[in-house]
Amino acid sequence: MDTGPNRLIIDGFSCFFVKFSLSKFVWFDGKFVPSSKAQVPVTTHAIHYGTSIFEGIRAYWDSKNLFVFRLDDHIKRFRNSGKYYSISLNFSNKQVANAIINLCKKNKMKRSCYIRPFYFVGQYGINLHVTEKAPTNLAIFMFPFGDLFDKKGITAGISSWRKFSGSSTPTQAKMGGNYLNSIIATQESKRNGYDEAILLDKKGNLSEAPGENIFLVKNEELITPPLSSSALKGITRDTVFELAKDSGYEVSIREISRSELYVADEVFLSGTAAEITPIIRVDRQKVGTGKMGKITKELMSDYTDVVMNRNEKYSHWLSAVY
């Protein structure tokens, strides 16, 4: 039952979902193509084996211009993700950046939006020996986008599924196949009535959420898991580091036990889609006062100032479209 633009009732539980209207044009292997014409064969290797690499990028409209946030950093990670699997991105970083900027222009986008570039192994049969010479395709699409979650705060449950470790597959690669782990954790959290899941690493320490990094606040210190806990080296995570430092807060990167969640003063998620989102309940227990905390609120405000081009110190993170 559809109850609005961003909420769905499933098995009696209310949950947020992403509902979007795809832009008129997509960019596909160097050309602008109507979205209805951007198609691939059913024999595409990535459909069968998850051999796709993606990025999530945001652009923000400030009533005068559209600013793509940390475009160069996203493209660098985009290329590096493929290197783990010897999958080639057959366009330069500059070509990818220009494609994204020009796609915004082609679609006359003058609203805050989400941009999804991805490249994938194409016609390669059922061969598992993927090499740099395997044929790949690059596509980019976009759509207007607002809040992924309720910014007043969400609930989260610790998943029984563990985050995969670097001993199984590279944790820093944003590969399509890797996110099956996120999907099964999300499914479990929704069945249990939560807005989001929290995954533990193979040792039982905090790792991250299905699509976001996680931070705890205790005694005005920010704490987040290390990469060795299978946490992604998030671009928004790095942004939080900088904003916290500007405000004089200490940030610690260390292993975090599950029990620390229950006594944290504040908990929040960071990610391109989620931006900065407070968690107000974990496993049905209140976090702090059960409302958004002071530091989370401050960081959310500072983050908005940066992406809306109201903080000159970080203007170099913004790529103007018009």
Indicate if 152 belongs to the active site.
no
d(CA 143, CA 242): 28
Among 106, 163, 174, 245, the one annotated catalytic:
174
In the block, residue with structure tokens 């109850």: 3
Burial 273-302 (b: 16+ CB within 10 A, else e): bbbbbbbbbbeeeebbeeebbebbbebbeb
d(CA 272, CA 295): 19
Phi, psi of 175 (to 5 degrees): -100, 145
d(CA 62, CA 57): 17
Nearest to 276 by CA among 311, 307, 318: 307
User: Beta-carbon neighbour count of residue 244 at 10 Å?
Assistant: 20
DSSP state of 288: T
User: Which residues have CB under 8 Å from 316's CB, separation 6+?
Assistant: none
Instruction: Please give the radius of gyration of the chain, using alpha carbons only, rounded to the nearest integer.
Output: 20
For 179, the token pair is 């996110």
First CA to last CA across the chain, in angstroms?
A: 40
- Paired residues of 119 in beta bridges: 53, 138
Contact assessment for residue 201 and residue 240, using Cβ atoms and an 8 Å cutoff: no
Which residues have a catalytic role annotated?
174
